[in-house]
Amino acid sequence: MPPADPARFILPPIGKQKRYPALDLTIVHAQEQEVPENRSPIDWKLITDLPITSLEEATEKLQWYALRWKALLQKS
């Protein structure tokens, strides 16, 4: 049964709907407000299946994503 908000309910392709479940996704769109002069602003669209019901939860998920980038840059 789809969740109440149909904008968050993503179905698999038509030929695969019997084998794969629908996904309940949330999109977090974050735009950097105070941008340094030497670069473009950060503009992230994070798609997650983790529950987000508040600004605090959205901020937490964005912080996790930022840590991932930091780890990737350190490996370079």
How would you write 29-50 as a 3-class SS string?
Answer: EEECCCCCCCCCCCEEEEEECC
Q: Rounded to two decimals, what is the model's pTM?
A: 0.65
- Domain ranges in the chain? 6-75
CA–CA gap between residue 44 and residue 22 (Å, rounded): 24
pLDDT tens, position by position, 28-44 = 999 989 999 999 998 98
pLDDT confidence band for 7 (50 / 70 / 90): low
